[in-house]
Structure formats: structure tokens, C-alpha cells
Chains A and B, each alone.
Chain A
Amino acid sequence: MTERRPRSFYVLACFFGLFLLFLYGPMISILVLSFQGPEGGLVFPMTGFSTHWFQRLWEGGGQVEIGSALRRSFALALVVMVLTVSFSVLAGLAFRRQFRGATLLLYVAIASLIVPSIVVSLGIALEFRLLDDAIKAFGASAGIDWITNDFVSALGPFTSGLGAHLTWTLPFGLLIMFAVFNRFDPAYEEAARDLGATPWQTFRHVTLPMIAPFLIGVAVFGFTLSWDELARSSQVMGADNTLPMQLAAKTTTVTDPEIYALGTATTGGSVLLVLVTFTLVSLMQRQRRKG
């Protein structure tokens, strides 16, 4: 006897199939096309199988700006990651104390998730233009030479760019820490206090080690949100470009599969990052079980 499945099963299965196709189809196409033969073009069919485009990519192929954009994006993502983890933990600890106005502050903090990214980006750029004008006016009136001669703008990846990314990563980090501390039994901290630990010792020896696996999650989240952010970056990086911006610019002028090779390489990087994190977390958990 075989059990008959209801019709809804087939409808939902179709939907799930489409989901998979849209999610992994493009990735697989790009992965395959990045190994296009040297004479091949941007679309199927393949004219052979080679690592030609990876070699071009590696040599720089007249695109020095990709390499520097990659390094810039990586450095920026690292800074964003560190700041996101530190401030999310501190904010999470603060919110456990039920201070006056906590709810209002929370809404103010996470409202930036609702505002369209491009609007945030434009707004930050406008603010920095005002700041630039102020600095120039100050330089002129105070007679500071390097401002009048060399200063162009305060806009840049590690000023306005960093701020723009943090408006995106901090609310996420804070929400994760909320979930973490919601399930954190204060009895652990009371026990530590009972056993003579100072507030700092309690944090260092009890709270921090217990939330550490979640912090790795916040870190990866912060890193990847910054790493592939385009809309929020678009107006605020000044004269420099981040990798997603460089790629977006490339797609409008691109003529060969090198961009696929770049796509494959960066995706590979992300996958590697996730795998490393995953391994780290499971190692920590095993360590915990062993003691």
C-alpha cells in the first residue's frame, strides 16, 4: 500500500524547487562560466574549459582598482566586525538593566533597518558635505594652510563609510544580543558574585565565555553585511570604491568572463569564512564538553 500524497504537497514541492533554482541556479551558472575557455564569451555555450580568466584576474589584467577595492572592503569589514561585536555586547548588557527610556531607545536604534539604505547613504553624504564646508570655512578663517591647500572632503571609507555600515550592522547585532541575553539565566552571575568575583571577573570568567559562541555569529554577520553592502556604500565612500561598488560599476562595462572568475573567487572566500567559523564554533563546543 502506498500512501497518496495530497495535492498541496506537489504545489509546495514545485515552489520549493523554484526557490532552489533561483537561489543556486545563478551561482552555479557563474561558477561554470568562470571556467570559460579563452575565446568564450559572457553567455553559454562554453567554448572549452580553462582557468584562463582566473589567471587574468590574478595578474590584475589592467584592473588594479579591483585589488585595492578588495583590500579596502576587507579592512572595512574587519573594522565594522570588531566595532559591531563590542558595541552590541555592551548595549545588550545595558538593556538587561531596564533603564528608563529603554524601549524608546531600542526603537530609535533599530529604526535604521526600516529606512531605505539608499536614503541613509544620501543623507550621510549630505551631512558630510556640510561638515566639509564647515572645515573649509574654519581653515580659511584660522589660516590653516593644509586645509586651504589639500583638504578635499571628510568623506571616506573609514569615516562616512564606516558610519553608514554601522547603521546597518549595529541594529542586527543588538537584536541578536537581545535574543542571547533573553535566555541567559542571571543566576550564573549571582553565583559568580556569591563566590567572590568582582563585576569585571564575572564578565570575564562567566558571562563572556558563555556568550562567546553567539559572538562569533554576530562577528560573521557584521563582517558579511559590510562585505557585500552596496546601497549604503554608494554615496559615502568619497573618492574610493569598495568591492561591491567596483563590481557594480564593472557589470555595466564588462565584456569578458573575468567578472565571473571574480564572482567565483569572492563567493569562495565567503564560503571559506563560514566554514572556518563553523569549525571554530564546533571546536569550542567540543572543548566545552571535554572541559
Chain B
Amino acid sequence: MSDAQMVELASVTKRYDGALAVDAINLKIKAGSYCCLLGPSGCGKSSTLRMIAGHEDVTDGDIMIGSRVVNDDPPAERGTAMMFQSYALFPHLSVAENVAFSLRMKGVGRKERLERAARMLDLVSMAEYADRTPTQLSGGQQQRVALARALMTEPSVLLLDEPLSALDPFLRVRMRSELRRIQAELGITFIHVTHSQEEAMALADLVVVMNDGRIAQAAPPREIYNAPRTPFVARFIGGHNIIEDNGRTITLRADDIDVLPAGDATGARRRAQVSEIEYRGPDVRVGLETEAGESLTAVMGERAFFDSPLSPGASVAIGWRPEAAHELSRDA
């Protein structure tokens, strides 16, 4: 495997027939890190990935991999490899020949390329399926083969386009840890596009939240969760309540909201009514409607909630520790 490389985008712009898809973004992804591009559909995350891969021309700006500007290089010369959302495994070739495809294109003989493909299939625990065709595999197995095929080119950067979206939820969680394991094992840079904030939190060293072709925030997952920069990031990442407080826009984590007895005068910052109770197993989600008409969500531990249970319609007071309030800047 080759060395990990850093990836740097300098005011990279993508325009399709006048429509702006990616708007002059700047981003630095450290070599060997796991980066997730996160955002709703149409936010420009896939276009960004495809530009890094070389499957889409850059309208303006520069893409650097390592210390080289790769704008005009064909995909195979960038040291990147891409795993496609649909996997794009060639249906007419066996699993082994799919994995060996890049070697075959370079003119490596059949015996050698199949040997090397077998070793790669071992890495993703698919060795015994070498002679099958892709259509005979389950979604998860196809994904492993696609991963092996991409890694066969010995990339220094692996690009993954919504790799887990086609899998069922159970498999998704399993493949998530598998991806993390393989990334740690190979030590190369992973750039992973997803619209699931849970996936990004679980995998990434660096989460890049995108909106409307721009980067709303690029930071480690904990920072994104605890200190979202804008209302958009807070809303997209979930578990946040965005309210106006003394002329500031602040956000409160749902698990930082204290639901107090209605008569509590000392800790109360708002008066509210319980509008909804949702039992979720480890915790309980409490929907609240304040007197000012704000809708808030509090999440309480299962035991804490049932120590003094609430029911819809109950009047309560709401409080929070001063340090729990995080001020947001305006959406760009």
C-alpha cells in the first residue's frame, strides 16, 4: 500500500450550465485521516468527491493531493480510488477478475493478478467467494468486493460515495466498524460522502458539514456536536434546540435541558407544557411547548424520567446551566 497523502482544496468551484454546485470551498484533509463530507442532498458533497476523484472537471480553483495539483490528471494518475454508491461491479466478470481489473488493464498476467486479487479478498474476508459473480452476492458482500477492487490500485486516498446507503440498518452498523478497521489498518486517507450524521459521527476524524455548495463547518465530531457554528449545522446534526435568548441565537443540547417542577423558581428560565412523550429505551424524549411558543425537545435518561414521570399536558419549568448555552453565528 502506498503512503497516505493529504488532500487540499483551494477555492474549488463547480458550475453546471450556470448552476453553482460547489462555491469556492477551501478544505485541508490531513494525510491518513478519515474525513466525512456530510450534508443534505444537493449540498455539493458528491460533486466535491467526484472532482477529487477526477470524474468531474473543476470549474475553478485547485485540488492538491500530496504536494501535487491534480486538476488535469486522469483519475488513475491521482493516487485516488473510488468506491461507487451502486458499487458498479462488472456483472460479466467473476469476483476475482473484478478485483484484478486494474492489474489486467496494466497488462499483468492472469496467474499473478488472480494471486494478488486473492490476497486482497482475504483482507475483506471474501476469499471464498472469488469464483462467484457479483449478482450472486448480497449487498454487504458486494460492498466488500468493491472495496477490495478499489484498494487494488494501492491508492493513497480512498473516496467513498455513500457506501453504506444501500445496506439495511443492521449491516450498515457492522460495515461501519469494518470501514474504520480497514482505514486504521491501511493508514491511508479516507474521504466518505454521507447524508447520515450518525455515520459521520461514528467514523470521522474530520466532519465537513456542507450546505448550498459551501462548507458550513469543518471540525472533529465532538466539536461539531458541542459547538455547532450555525443554526444549519445544529439542526442538521440533530439533538439541538435553537432558541433566541436575550437577543442572541443560542443552541441547547437536548440532554442539557433540565425539566423542573412547575413551582421551581430558582432554576427556571422558561415555563412550558409537555406536548409529547416518546419512550426510546435507553432514554425518553420529552416534547415541550414554551409560553413564548417555542418548541423544545429534552432528552432524559430512562431512570431519571421514571423517578418523577411526566405526562402530556403537564406544566413544567425549564432550566439549563449557563455553560450549556452555545451561541450560534448566522447561517452563511
Q: Is B one of A's binding partners?
A: yes
Contact A190 B84 (CB under 8 A): yes
- Find out whether the CB atom of A195 lies under 8 angstroms from the CB atom of B92: no
Q: Which of B91, B132, B153 contacts A196 (CB 8 A)?
A: B153
Q: How many residue pairs bridge A and B at CB < 8 Å?
A: 75
Q: Name the residue on A nearest B135 (C-beta).
A: A289
Does A209 sit within 8 A of B, measured CB to CB?
yes
Decide yes or no whether A201 CB sits under 8 A from chain B: yes
**Interface contact A194-B53, CB-CB below 8 Å:** yes
Taking the complex as formed, is A187 at the interface, i.e. its CB lies under 8 A from any CB of chain B?
yes
Which of B96-104, B168-176, B218-226, B302-310 has 4 or more CB atoms under 8 Å from chain A? B96-104
**Which residues of chain A (173-228) have a CB below 8 Å from chain B?**
185, 187-188, 190-198, 201, 205-206, 209-210
Encoded as 1 (CB less than 8 Å from any A CB) or 0, chain B from 149 to 185 comes to 1101100000000000000000000000000000000
In Å, the complex CA distance between A195 and B91 comes to 16
Q: Which residues of B contact A205 (CB under 8 A)?
A: 101, 104-105
Given contacts A194-B76, A288-B91, A288-B92, contact A187 B149 (CB under 8 A): no
B55 adjacent to chain A (CB < 8 Å): yes
Shortest B72–chain A CB gap in Å is 15
Residues of A within 8 A of B149 (CB): 191, 195
**Cβ distance A246 to chain B, nearest Cβ, rounded Å:** 43
Contacts of A193 in B (CB 8 A): 55, 74-76
Closest CB in chain A relative to B221 CB, distance in Å: 29
Contacts A194-B76, A195-B102 hold; do A210 and B55 have CB atoms under 8 A apart? Answer: no
**Chain A nearest Cβ from B30, distance in angstroms:** 23
A290 contacts the other chain (CB 8 A): yes
- Determine the distance from Cα of A22 to Cα of B135 in the docked complex, in whole angstroms: 42
B97/A291 in contact, CB under 8 A: yes
With A288-B91, A288-B92, A291-B97 known as contacts, the answer to whether A196 contacts B133 (CB < 8 A) is no
Query: Would you call B136 an interface residue if the criterion is a C-beta within 8 Å of the partner chain's C-beta atoms?
Result: yes
**Are A209 and B133 also in contact (CB < 8 A) when A193-B74, A193-B76, A196-B153 are?**
no
Contact B90 A206 (CB under 8 A): yes
With contacts A289-B135, A291-B94 taken as known, whether A195 is within 8 angstroms of B153 at the C-beta atoms is yes
Q: Which residues of chain A come closer than 8 Å to B135, judged between CB atoms? A: 289
B88 lies within 8 A of chain A by Cβ: yes
B245: chain A residues at CB < 8 Å are none
Whole-angstrom distance between the alpha carbons of A193 and B90 in the complex?
A: 13
Which residue of chain B lies nearest to A287 when distances are taken between CB atoms in the complex?
A: B92
**Cβ–Cβ < 8 Å partners of B75 in chain A:** 190, 193-194
- A290 and B93 CA atoms in complex are apart in Å by 9
Identify the closest chain A residue to B134 (Cβ): A291
Q: Is B204 an interface residue (CB 8 A)?
A: no
Across-interface contacts of B294 in A (CB, < 8 A): none
Our pick among B101, B132, B136 for the contact of A195 (Cβ within 8 Å) is: B101
B321 within 8 A of A: no
In the complex, which range does the number of interface residues on chain A fall in?
20 to 34
> Which residue of B81, B95, B132 contacts A194 across the interface (Cβ within 8 Å)?
B81
Interface residues in B66-90 by Cβ distance below 8 A to A read: 74-76, 80-82, 84-86, 88, 90
Contact B105 A196, beta carbon cutoff 8 Å: yes
Question: Is B92 a contact of A194 with CB atoms below 8 Å?
Answer: no
Q: Is the CB of B74 within 8 A of A210?
A: no
Complex contacts, A290 vs chain B, CB 8 Å:
133
Output the residue of B76, B92, B131 with the most chain A CB within 10 A: B92
User: Does B330 lie at the interface of the complex (its beta carbon under 8 Å from any beta carbon of A)?
Assistant: no
Task: Find out whether the CB atom of B136 lies under 8 angstroms from the CB atom of A210.
Answer: no
Contacts A194-B150, A205-B104, A289-B133 known; list 19 others, CB within 8 Å.
A187-B85, A188-B90, A190-B84, A191-B88, A191-B90, A193-B55, A193-B76, A194-B76, A194-B80, A195-B76, A195-B101, A195-B102, A195-B152, A196-B102, A196-B106, A201-B105, A288-B133, A291-B93, A291-B94
* Interface residue ranges, A against B (CB under 8 Å): 185, 187-188, 190-198, 201, 205-206, 209-210, 288-291
* B residues apposed to A, CB below 8 Å: 53, 55, 74-76, 80-82, 84-86, 88, 90-95, 97, 101-102, 104-106, 131-133, 135-136, 149-150, 152-153
26 A–B contacts from the bound complex (CB under 8 Å) = A185-B86, A190-B82, A190-B84, A190-B88, A191-B84, A192-B90, A192-B101, A194-B53, A194-B81, A195-B76, A195-B101, A195-B149, A196-B76, A196-B102, A196-B105, A201-B105, A210-B90, A210-B91, A210-B92, A288-B91, A288-B92, A289-B135, A291-B93, A291-B94, A291-B132, A291-B133
Q: Nearest 5 pairs between A and B by C-beta?
A: A291-B94, A196-B76, A195-B102, A191-B88, A187-B88
